[in-house]
Homo-oligomer: A and B are copies of this chain.
């Protein structure tokens, strides 16, 4: 980093028809292609042509509310990324998966296999999942509470990384003449015993090209930040204001240092949803077009799901009561972190319910930026140079056009300013993010395999 300008990381966060909640209704989108793998392969190739670091998929093991008005249902992201891996060469591939509703051995296999198939481009966005509808799909009457979910998440990640490490890099010998396939002293049982999970191992595949997939995380609660400081190599976060982004950035980097980690190996990537126009007025008109396609009914269901508060009794055109979503200063559990963003909007902007719904329609609480390519590049540069971001999870309001215009208009400005690569310098997601390939924690440990 010393003899070269610090570089932005940019991911394309792929969301069916786009991040704006009525994207599927706009003439610019093709929702009839949402279950067609070629649609996503084309988007990934656009992102790769622009030299982005990665594509990113959200996920949850349940159908989200209101299928009548929202583009619902999606391909499973790990298989989808596998199909995308075969249609691309360099771009990183990040999928979200839940530590609450998977078993470590199964999930470790899916991600390691994606890392092998993509030759080192896999990333796992670790979430604990926050909804009762998911719980009901897994035999639970209610969702485990926040602290239990994070306790399991820590055990899950510990066990999973041990599985990924359990074959040392040089375990496979393939000595045909001697009949020795692998060196059993380099393949280790992990014998993980936690309060929530027990996993013996060893893993049933060799160590993957990146050592292990990049660990990504997205929770901004206190628990989430502690978890991020300890484990995350990239963090996806939501902030509306530079000052909030700076405070979060400083806090998480500091936590990483406390865990003995190099803070440069923790990439902080706020979400940003750009509405772009050749003029600011044109951009505003485009945003208005999308907002006019929203359904208050859908927006209310989304807002209630996000906040856990009932709002359907409120007048759409009256100001939202102050404090309805709590105090913006509080961050106590996972849901609170997004709630804090919403409470902050209510506190600062005093919107009507309709106004708040429009504010959230863009990207569910992530920052929507409306302007010219130069204006969007300026705010990216500002956050990047002012200690609020190492890069961004770019959330185009509509796909594929919203990514194309970002790639064609904004990326070249960032490249001209020396802030973003013009060619990939490496082949793996770790290379793009500037992260080291971790050594196996079992390197030089005595073998323990005895099956």
Known contacts A76-B113, A181-B69, A205-B75: A24-B83 contact under CB 8 Å: no
A322 interfacial contact with B, CB 8 Å: no
A330 interfacial contact with B, CB 8 Å: no
A270 interfacial contact with B, CB 8 Å: no
C-alpha gap A408/B73 in the complex (Å): 43
Q: Are B79 and A204 in contact (CB under 8 A)?
A: no
Q: Are B202 and A63 in contact (CB under 8 A)?
A: yes
From B83, B101, B109, B187, give the contact of A103 (CB < 8 A): B101
A355 interfacial contact with B, CB 8 Å: no
Contacts of A182 in B (CB 8 A): 67-68, 72-73
Known contacts A79-B82, A139-B198, A174-B31: A204-B102 contact under CB 8 Å: no
Contacts of A72 in B (CB 8 A): 181-182, 204
A66 interfacial contact with B, CB 8 Å: yes
State how many residues of chain A have any CB contact under 8 Å with chain B. Answer: 78
Contacts of A110 in B (CB 8 A): 76, 78-79, 110
Interface segment, one of A130-138, A231-239, A244-252: A130-138
Q: Which A residues between 65 and 96 are near B, CB-CB below 8 angstroms? A: 65-76, 78-80, 82-83, 85-87
Q: Are A117 and B79 in contact (CB under 8 A)?
A: yes
A295 — nearest CB in chain B belongs to which residue? Answer: B179
A163 — nearest CB in chain B belongs to which residue? Answer: B137
Contacts of A82 in B (CB 8 A): 79, 82-83
A191 — nearest CB in chain B belongs to which residue? Answer: B136
Q: Which A residues between 354 and 397 are near B, CB-CB below 8 angstroms? A: none
C-alpha gap A139/B192 in the complex (Å): 9
Q: Are B200 and A136 in contact (CB under 8 A)?
A: yes
Contacts of A112 in B (CB 8 A): 76
C-alpha gap A400/B179 in the complex (Å): 20
Q: Mark A101-123, 1 if CB is under 8 A from B, else 0.
A: 11101100110111011000000
Known contacts A117-B80, A187-B67: A109-B181 contact under CB 8 Å: no
Q: Are B180 and A35 in contact (CB under 8 A)?
A: no
C-alpha gap A92/B181 in the complex (Å): 31
